[in-house]
Structure 1
Amino acid sequence: MTLRLFFMRHGETEWSLSGQHTGRADIPLTANGEDEARRLGERLRVYAFNHVLSSPLQRSWRTCELAGLSQDTKVEQDLIEWDDGDYEGRTSAEIHATRPEWNVFRDGCLGGEMPDEISTRADRLIERLTKLDGNVALFSHSHFGRVLAVRWIGLAVEHAQSLLLSTASLSILGYEHDRPTIVLWNSAPLSQFVETDP
């Protein structure tokens, strides 16, 4: 069997709606986020998973549960979101008011994780994951997922700024000719990308 990593971002939360940075704050899914997780589960039913891993934060493991994959789930600490430190709960606009050029993927978070630290964490997880086989489901978070993807293909953390992840999205990391590749990225219902009239 060939290893394939199915990366799922958690469903919507109040802070993902408001644009507040959500690192280690353990906030729940919204009702819509729970619906997103159930719809994600419908998409995943066609796959058999050899391993299911989730961040310890409730927005991830609840997404996993509602997607119907919680029976054999193991909590994986390295799947936790980027530690936002002093920027926890703040919007990018609020941070830019005092640091106009700030970019989390380049500058990290005061009082939290820096790019080299999250890169080390992603590399450590990848090293363990590459010892597995078959389909592996990972339930995690936006910023960490973006870092995991760029580290999977050997790029520096700063490149993660070019990859977006919608709530309850599905991405797949795998191989082509034994080289790590991004097979699928940020697959989510089109309604999440298109603004509609009120």
Structure 2
Amino acid sequence: MNSKVGVHIWLIRHGETEWSKSGQHTGTTDVPLTDAGREQAAALAPILSSQSFDLVLTSPMGRAIETCRLAGLGDRAQVEPELHEWNYGVYEGLKTPDIRKEIPDWSVWTSPIPEGENLADVGRRAQALIDKLIATNGANIALFSHAHFSRVFGAQWATGSPSLGAHLAMDTAAMSVLGFERDVRAIIKWNLLP
């Protein structure tokens, strides 16, 4: 693992959407924020404005871009394609309990995703972004993304393996901070709500 002691990466999940509220897998469908989601995003502003970010990146999806804007960092944000959510392929828009009616042990973390990405694919994408961020001069970086991708990113950061992400819950408009404990990559804070 590359190291750059002193870097802090803030992972910020977008606010609530109708699909995140209902539990539908939302990867490539650009579902907008609900009114509650916009309120959640705006509630991030006082916390994030107290930070000095060297780099602000957002997923290309509207729900992440709007969260970034409402959180007060939209004017500085650059779109980073790698921050997009997991591609759920044929399971896009479905809920896990509905999928399990057909495939009883199905899990996004362990099952094949026809026409989409599997865990290893998302892990490689997260690692490529980690490598890119480590190569920048940024010491304090904000990333606006999605639940599953952020969970994989946090796991990849801390362990070099995406599978820990299955054990990291992340609420809508939650913030997490990655950094170092001495010279070891660590999860400093996880799933903080404003």
TM-score by length of 1: 0.92
Partner in structure 1 of residue 39 of structure 2: 35
Distance 2:112 2:122 in 1: 9
Cα offsets for 1:52-97 (capped at 9, x unmatched): 0000000000000000101121100000000010000000111111
Partner in structure 1 of residue 69 of structure 2: 65
Distance 1:158 1:72 in 2: 32
Distance 1:28 1:187 in 2: 22
Partner in structure 2 of residue 168 of structure 1: 173
Partner in structure 1 of residue 103 of structure 2: 99
Distance 2:157 2:143 in 1: 14
Secondary structure of the structure 2 residue equivalent to 1:126: helix
Distance 1:175 1:76 in 2: 23
TM-align CA RMSD: 1.2
Structure 2 unmatched ranges of 5 or more: none
Partner in structure 1 of residue 18 of structure 2: 14
Partner in structure 2 of residue 74 of structure 1: 78
Alignment of 1:123-134 (within 5 A): 123-132=127-136, 133-134=138-139
Distance 1:106 1:72 in 2: 37
Runs of 4+ in 1 over 4 A off after TM superposition: none
Which of 148, 156, 162 is matched with 2:153 structurally? 148
Which of 46, 51, 55 is matched with 1:51 structurally? 55
Secondary structure of the structure 2 residue equivalent to 1:105: coil
Distance 1:57 1:46 in 2: 25
State the shift of 1:139 in Å.
Answer: 0.1
Secondary structure of the structure 2 residue equivalent to 1:153: helix
Q: Which moved more, 1:130-139 or 1:166-175?
A: 130-139
State the shift of 1:155 in Å.
Answer: 4.4
State the shift of 1:124 in Å.
Answer: 0.3
Distance 1:77 1:152 in 2: 18
Distance 2:113 2:26 in 1: 12
What is the one-letter code of the residue matched to 2:144? Answer: F
Distance 1:161 1:128 in 2: 24
